[in-house]
Amino acid sequence: MKNQELIHKINKLKSEKDAVILAHNYQIPEIQQTADFLGDSLDLARKAHSDSHSVIVFCGVKFMAETAKILSPDKKVLLPATDANCPMAEMAEKRALLKLKEQYPDAQVVTYVNSTAEVKAISDVCCTSANSVKIVNNLDTDTIIFVPDKNLGAYTQKFTDKKLILWDGFCYVHNQFSSEEIDGAKQNYPDAVIMVHPECTPEVIKKADKVFSTSGMVKFAKESDKKTFIVGTEQGLIHRLKRENPDKQFLSLGAAKTCRGMKAIKLIDVYNALKNDQHQIHLRDDVMTGARKAIEKMLDYA
């Protein structure tokens, strides 16, 4: 089927099954344009929490679909592609985190939403790249175990006097950006604003003009008087930025970086998921209960 035919069939199935499509900013253009709601991890968590539809088709990676299920346990949550995974989420493992908690009994665990449900379930609170500083500074402890992204943790450490114990995890996409690419962008586009994601390395963040989550980039680009922006995040965001700001120029920092998990979902996968109710998210009750406490605490703080 061609895209337009697929979109027509998807819209028909959504109506029949009382479904909503939530999509992350890194999804392919066709998915972004078919989604009912587009956003970053925090946006999508809030939407999953408040949405009234009985079925959620989550176009993102697995941990995001798990978060939707945790926040809406009575709803059917579908992840259209089984290989839509986040390698960083898999870098943090429950047993290893329990051991680290034993080493620091007075510490609280702040876990980035880019993590498995099992890890969230043994955490005190979750965070996203948009609210990590606020979450950390809201906690009544001086020592924090920050899981799993060491780059986001290092960025957060700059804005707090608390001691952060950083897990040795990272996003392989954002870790590819280099300070040399920043130097090249400044030389080639001296009037451009260079904005990067806080999952980038400290060296890249130090040289960038702005540091934002993807929702922060969308907001800044819309409100800024600047006309050219160098974007240091997964290339999928550029499609949204261009669509919403047709009079402005958006260029990837260095060679465009792609997340395999985010790009795993195609329109045909969304159609098949809706048609066959396939790839449902199922989690144990005890895992959902523990993880829900950590996520809802994040939403309260944020």
pLDDT (average), residues 165-178: 98
Mean pLDDT computed over every residue of the chain: 96
pLDDT (average), residues 170-185: 97
Beta-carbon contacts of 295 under 8 Å, excluding residues fewer than 6 positions away, are 45, 67, 70, 71, 113, 120, 126
Strand order in the sheet with 76-78: 37-39, 19-24, 55-59, 76-78
Query: What is the pLDDT, as a whole number, of residue 106?
Result: 95
Backbone angles phi and psi of 192, in degrees to 5: -80, 155
Query: What is the pLDDT, as a whole number, of residue 21?
Result: 98
Chain centroid offset of residue 289 CA: 22
pLDDT digits (tens, 9 = 90+) for 67-88: 999 999 999 999 999 999 999 9
pLDDT digits (tens, 9 = 90+) for 16-42: 999 999 999 999 999 999 999 999 988
Beta-bridged to residue 125, according to DSSP, are 110
Identify the structural domains of the chain with CATH numbers, from first to last. 3-85+262-282 (3.40.50.10800), 89-171+287-301 (3.40.50.10800), 174-252 (3.40.50.10800)
Q: Is the pLDDT of residue 112 over 90?
A: yes
Query: What is the pLDDT, as a whole number, of residue 153?
Result: 98
Query: 1-10, 83-92, 225-234: which has the minimum mean pLDDT?
Result: 1-10
pLDDT digits (tens, 9 = 90+) for 40-57: 988 998 899 899 999 999
How far apart CA 83 and CA 72 sit, in angstroms, is: 23
Q: Is the pLDDT of residue 160 over 80?
A: yes
Beta-bridged to residue 193, according to DSSP, are 229
pLDDT (average), residues 250-259: 95
pLDDT digits (tens, 9 = 90+) for 209-218: 999 999 999 9
